[in-house]
Amino acid sequence: MVTLPHEAEPDAFNPWLRVTSLIEEAGHLLGLDEGMITRIVTPERILEVAVPVRMDNGEIHMFPGWRIQHDSSRGPGKGGIRFHPSVSVDEIAALSADMSIKCAVVNIPYGGAKGGVKVDPSLLSHAELERLTRRYAFAIAPMIGPDRDIPAPDINTDPQVMSWIMDTVSMLRGHNLPGVVTGKPLAIGGTLGHAGATSLGVTICTVALLNRLGRPPEGERVVIQGYGKVGAPLVKLLSQRGMKVVGLADVHGAIHVPEGIDYEKMSAHFDEAKSIMGYPGGEEVHAEELFALPSDIAIPAALGGVITEEVASSMSATMMVEAANGPTTGEGAAVLASRNVPVVPDVLANAGGVVASYFEWAQDLQGFMWEPELFHQRLEKTMHDAFDAVWIRHEQLGVPLRDTALVVGVERIAEATELRGLFP
């Protein structure tokens, strides 16, 4: 077992311990030797940085930050940067390992990485946010680059943050480096189609699972936890495919709409109210009751560790698609497995975002922008191929989809590690 300086409380959900145990289980299922399993689990590099920021009032505040490169056997590191007060080394390490598995599952030539700063960006002015971003980019600059490690947006970061990072590193290197980050605006090397790619990938996996189970999408009732970058587009995409979003939650609460949410009305309401609460015809319910609402499909699209043993036990849906990173605890996963609830795991379901990032990076290296139709065609093919590969292996092994996806990812990483050998 690889250890990190755990910051979580002894009885709290620890994402790093969770992901390492999953990788180890997959390695044992594959019959890998302990040395190989240890190599796959262990992060290659852990950089902790202190980020000093001059606030608008002249005071200097210090913020801790990290960039972790988990595995580079299949290619340069890939993973987002998040700004959030809950960020910790355990969380970033777990997410970097998730990225290694995710990139391998969808079979793109990346390893896994992740970064973050422990900060509440809502308390910063625009100028303070820029200074924080640029100082953090300066601190991690030796680790990142188009052929080393390519960050992307994550929680509380966006195309503007990526623009500042790209500009900072470009200034340091003395030449323009659009390929150093993805998720950029179009004007400086972004790509048509990146926005909403994660949601599209979740939708593709949802429909693919329904097809495998012999269930037509029309009329399937969905509950979604989260109405942000992923959850908001999902309401539209799923509705367009005939499904009904009957339950929805954001940071302010949850609502139940048995007849289904109209995505255009919800979008207009949210733009005005800045919350889903108060949506016409929506019945307010406790956020803890969201997954117990009468439904067929559950989609957690917020933070990790929310599908606990208690939530899994009371869940009404008969299938789940993980749009968030690490939303299910080990106990929750065990309950869902015992109830025979099929779950498309995060390393497959929400991989549309990293596939889109791969396409943007490829276009930056080529200096040639693809047409939107080509982008979406390749995204759909990549996601369908990944789902089919996991499903076929699932039928061969007879284990839950979560375990199967991990097996596929770990097996591909192990193959690359074995082929490359051990230097020196």
DSSP line for 97-126: HHHHHHHHHTT-S-EEEEEEEE--GGGS-H
**Which pLDDT does position 148 carry in this prediction?**
97
Q: What is the pLDDT of residues 55-68, one digit of tens each?
A: 999 999 999 999 99
What is the share, in percent, of the chain residues with pLDDT greater than 90? 91
Residue 253 domain-assigned (yes or no): yes
Q: Is the pLDDT of residue 195 over 80?
A: no
Residue 111 domain-assigned (yes or no): yes
Higher pLDDT among residues 365 and 15, named by residue: 365
Closest C-alpha to 355, from 382, 334, 336, 328 = 382
- Asked whether the whole model's pTM tops 0.85, one would answer yes
Confidence of residue 8 (pLDDT cuts 50, 70, 90): very low
**Which pLDDT does position 15 carry in this prediction?**
85
**Which pLDDT does position 193 carry in this prediction?**
79
**Which pLDDT does position 326 carry in this prediction?**
84
Residue that is last in its domain, among 349, 376, 410: 349
Confidence of residue 88 (pLDDT cuts 50, 70, 90): very high
Q: Is the pLDDT of residue 10 over 80?
A: no
CA 218 distance to own-chain centroid: 27
E strand segments, 160-306: 221-225, 244-250, 253-256, 283-285, 297-300
Q: Are residues 55 and 156 in the same domain?
A: yes
Residue 10 domain-assigned (yes or no): no
Which CATH number fits the domain that encloses residue 224?
3.40.50.720
Residue 325 domain-assigned (yes or no): yes
Residue 127 domain-assigned (yes or no): yes
Is residue 419 a contact partner of residue 41, using CB atoms and an 8 Å limit? Answer: no
**Which pLDDT does position 207 carry in this prediction?**
97
Domain extent, residue 321, equals: 197-349
Confidence of residue 229 (pLDDT cuts 50, 70, 90): confident
Q: Is the pLDDT of residue 405 over 50?
A: yes
Residue that is last in its domain, among 302, 326, 349: 349
Q: Are residues 168 and 258 in the same domain?
A: no
The average confidence (pLDDT) of the chain is 94
List residues with catalytic annotation: 114
